[in-house]
Each structure stands twice: as C-alpha cells, then as structure tokens.
C-alpha cells in the first residue's frame, strides 16, 4: 500500500498501478459515502432534541414576592402548570397549625411535596404558600375563597380553595378535605427562596 506522498507522486508521474488506482477509488468512495451519511443523519438527530421553548419551559422560574400582599393569590407558569403564590396572614397560619378532623391527609403523608415542606403549612416559610394550582381529581383549577362562610366553617379557617368542577375543597395549605373527589392534597413543587423578595420554582 502506498503512502499519501507516494500516491501523489505516482498520480503526477502517471505510474499509478491499476490495483492502487482501484484502492484509491474505493477509499475515496467510502469517505464520500460516510460524509454524505453524516450530513443526511444530522437533521434527524437534531430534530430529536427539545426545542428552545421546551427547554425554557422545563427550567426553573424566578418569581418576585416582594409586592405580594397578604391574602393575594398570584399565578406563575412552571412546566406548563399554574403555580400559586400566596402570602398568608398570621391568622391563616395559626388556623393551619391547629388539628382539623375535616382534612383527609392532614400530615401530607400521601402528598407530593419537598421534604422541607412536610409540615402543617406545607411551606418553607409559614406565610408563603407555593402550590400547583391544579385539582388532584381531574385537573381543574380551584379558586380561592376567603369569604365563603360554609367553607370557612368546614375548615375552621379564614378561607380555602374550592374546585368548581366536582366540588373538591382544600385548606390554605392545599390539604384536601374528606369525602370529596380529589384523592390527595395539592402538589407542592420544588422551590427555594432567594433572599426575602424572590423565590425559584424548579
């Protein structure tokens, strides 16, 4: 087999043997076919990667809570889901910390939440609720009810969440009451506080 330098000299001088010429053509054809295959496969491989929008949607979300008023419910999008942010009053927090026989899972043992939120308020800071605003029954979005006398009496608290689709009810920590269609408490996403004014979801 000729080296590349010898091959170039043989081509220049016209002394290339038929066997060497054949080897050269086979090698050149193989290289061209390999390059063509790579060029054709690249678009298919690239199409399997998630889009920029999908990557952005799946990433962490920063939320400013510096202007979140007491009793205010704010919604941000994370992974295509509505995530609620709510600043609870001292009265709301005290009510959540009291035993409530109306709750189906008061200790949140069957619920999805970070370990740091496995407490009565289901939050890292008692006054701030962060929860996925989707009913665990069929995916409707419950509404905040602060002035609903019947709901307040049932929860022994100043407010809760009511799902309009099938009547599931949740306290201000997202804990579900007994005998409603929703099987579990509302999901608490992973999050962390960044200083006093921001939190990062995801």
Residues identified as active-site: 166
3-state secondary structure the chain: CCCHHHHHHHHHHCCCCHHHHHHHHHHHHHHHHHHHHHHHHHHHHHHCCCCHHHHHHHCCEEEECCCCCECCEEEEEECCEEEEEEECCHHHHHHHCCCCCCECCCCCCCCCCCHHHCCCCCCCCCCEEEEECCCCCCCCCCEEECCCHHHHHHHCCCCEEECCCCCCEECCCCCEECCCCCCCCCCCCCEEEECCCEEEEC
Look at residues 148, 184, 180, 152 and name the one whose alpha carbon lies nearest to residue 166. Answer: 180
């Amino acid at each position: 087999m000729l080296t590349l330098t010898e091959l170039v000299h043989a081509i220049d001088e016209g002394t290339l043997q038929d066997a060497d010429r054949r080897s050269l053509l086979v090698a050149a054809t193989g290289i061209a076919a390999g390059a063509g295959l790579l060029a054709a496969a690249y678009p298919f491989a690239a199409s399997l990667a998630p889009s920029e929008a999908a990557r952005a949607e799946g990433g962490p979300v920063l939320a400013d809570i510096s202007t979140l008023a007491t009793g205010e419910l704010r919604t941000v999008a994370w992974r295509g889901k509505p995530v609620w942010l709510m600043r609870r009053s001292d009265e709301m927090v005290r009510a959540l910390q009291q035993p409530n026989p109306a709750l189906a899972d008061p200790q949140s043992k069957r619920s999805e939440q970070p370990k740091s939120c496995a407490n009565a308020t289901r939050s890292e800071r008692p006054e701030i609720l962060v929860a996925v605003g989707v009913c665990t029954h069929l995916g409707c979005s419950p509404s905040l009810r602060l002035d609903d006398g019947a709901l307040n009496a049932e929860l022994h608290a100043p407010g809760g969440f009511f799902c309009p689709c099938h009547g599931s009810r949740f306290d201000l920590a997202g804990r579900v009451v007994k005998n409603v269609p929703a099987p579990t408490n509302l999901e608490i996403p992973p999050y962390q506080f960044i200083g006093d004014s921001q939190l990062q979801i995801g």
